[in-house]
Amino acid sequence: MVELLAVVTIMGLMAGIVALSWAASLPRAELNSTVHDLAAAVSGARSDAIARNGIFRIYYDLDANSYSVSSPYRFGGGLARTDEERLILKRMRLPESVDMQLVTIGGMRYESGVVYVSFDPLGSATGHTVTLMQSTSDVPLTIEVLPLTGLIRFHYDGFERPIMTAEDFD
């Protein structure tokens, strides 16, 4: 009976440890999922720009913690003449625990407001970074979009690419 009680106690301790480690890994999984969803939207906007021969945009709303993808076309067909006519293809709000902290475009840092980047039919993009942070973690994740190719890179710890100057080419 004592042996059985010891085995049950040990199994209970092991189950508690597993439950604690599982609960600690869930927030990180939500941040990773959000980063990959945003990367898929960026990649999709680039692909649509190439396939449909138009300039697609992603609008980052840092105040509302959301982003949206817009096409150069208007509802019902034809090219949009104004930004208001542009057809919104996708609108996503980030989870409550994930915060869009910073968008950097061409060396300019934006911590609030609405900014947009463009993807052209040749596959190039407005070079930018988007830094996401989770409230339960102090490690930011950054998505970098390369300007010439529009391809995506992932970075930890708040990455910012230095701006190139003429002296870099001497």
pLDDT at residue 161 tops 80: no
Is the distance from CB of 57 to CB of 45 less than 8 angstroms? yes
Return the pLDDT at 156.
82
pLDDT at 114: 96
pTM: 0.78
Q: Of all residues in the chain, what percent carry a pLDDT higher than 90?
A: 47
Residue-level length of the chain: 170
Which tops the pLDDT comparison, 159 or 44?
Answer: 44
The DSSP secondary-structure symbol of 163 reads P
Phi and psi based region of residue 106 (left: phi greater than 0; alpha: psi -120 to 50; beta: remaining): left
pLDDT at site 30: 82
Q: Is residue 24 over pLDDT 60?
A: no
- In angstroms, the CA 52 to CA 75 distance is 15
For residue 27, the model assigns a pLDDT of 60
DSSP structural state of residue 154: E
- Looking at residue 169, what is its pLDDT? 73
Domain count, the chain: 1
Is 70 exceeded by the pLDDT of residue 26? Answer: no
Calculate mean pLDDT across residues 132-138: 82
Q: Residue 11 — pLDDT band, cuts 50, 70, 90?
A: confident
Q: What's the CATH code of the domain at 93?
A: 3.55.40.10
Mean pLDDT, to the nearest integer, of 140-151? 90
CB within 8 Å of 65: residues ≥ 6 apart: 93, 94, 98, 99, 100
Domain range holding 49? 2-169
User: 159: Cβ–Cβ under 8 A, 6 or more apart, which residues?
Assistant: 129, 131, 142, 144
pLDDT at 21 over 60: no
Q: Check: CB of residue 83 under 8 Å from CB of residue 74.
A: no
